[in-house]
């Protein structure tokens, strides 16, 4: 399936997708919205970072997803990142701080997430951060205080967080 010629395709929603299908979707250069409820691969394909126009990325309930590539920082138009239910995801890459347009990050039920990168403090437009049920998360980075527009941080069920940063 060749989607690179689908010049007017802006939105894709799919229930199940493997790495090959994700690589195919990444050929759609003008895609703005991508929602995959079950991505069957351990790492988000590097080619996803080539979709320069992407504004919303929802990869939810992807139980085998362990890693997001550093190249995600190329998605400079990204406003929404939803990785809820990716129970094997352990961290976000430092390059997430290069996605300056992000206003919402949802990591709900990423139960193996242990750390957030310090670069999250570079997200000056971040308004909401959902970390509910991130049961292995032990702390928030001090840089979280640099997110001047943040209005909501959901820590429900983050029982290992015992102290919040002064910032």
> What is the Cα gyration radius of the chain?
15
Which of 51-68 are b and which e, b meaning 16 or more Cβ less than 10 Å from the residue's Cβ?
beebbbbbbbbbeebbeb
Give the three-state DSSP class for 59: strand
31-85: pLDDT as tens digits: 999 999 999 999 998 988 989 999 999 999 999 999 999 999 999 999 999 999 9
pLDDT at 4: 67
8-45: pLDDT as tens digits: 889 999 999 888 888 888 888 889 999 999 999 999 98
* Residues ≥6 apart with Cβ < 8 Å to 83: 59, 60, 62, 65, 68, 89, 106, 107, 110
| Calpha distance 7→136 (Å, rounded) | 42
Residue 1 has pLDDT above 90, yes or no: no
Q: What is the mean pLDDT of residues 146-158?
A: 96
């Amino acid at each position: 399936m060749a989607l690179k010629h689908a010049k007017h395709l802006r939105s894709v929603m799919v229930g199940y997708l493997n790495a090959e299908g994700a690589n195919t979707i990444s050929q759609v250069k003008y895609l703005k919205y991508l929602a995959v409820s079950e991505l069957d691969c351990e790492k988000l394909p590097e080619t996803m970072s080539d979709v320069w126009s992407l504004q919303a990325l929802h990869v939810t309930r992807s139980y085998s997803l362990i890693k997001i590539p550093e190249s995600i920082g190329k998605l400079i138009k990204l406003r929404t990142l939803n990785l809820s239910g990716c129970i094997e995801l352990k961290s976000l890459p430092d390059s997430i701080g290069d996605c300056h347009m992000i206003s919402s990050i949802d990591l709900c039920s990423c139960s193996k997430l242990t750390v957030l990168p310090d670069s999250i403090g570079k997200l000056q437009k971040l308004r909401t951060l959902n970390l509910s049920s991130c049961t292995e998360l032990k702390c928030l980075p001090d840089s979280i205080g640099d997110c001047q527009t943040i209005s909501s941080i959901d820590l429900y069920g983050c029982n290992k967080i015992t102290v919040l940063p002064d910032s």
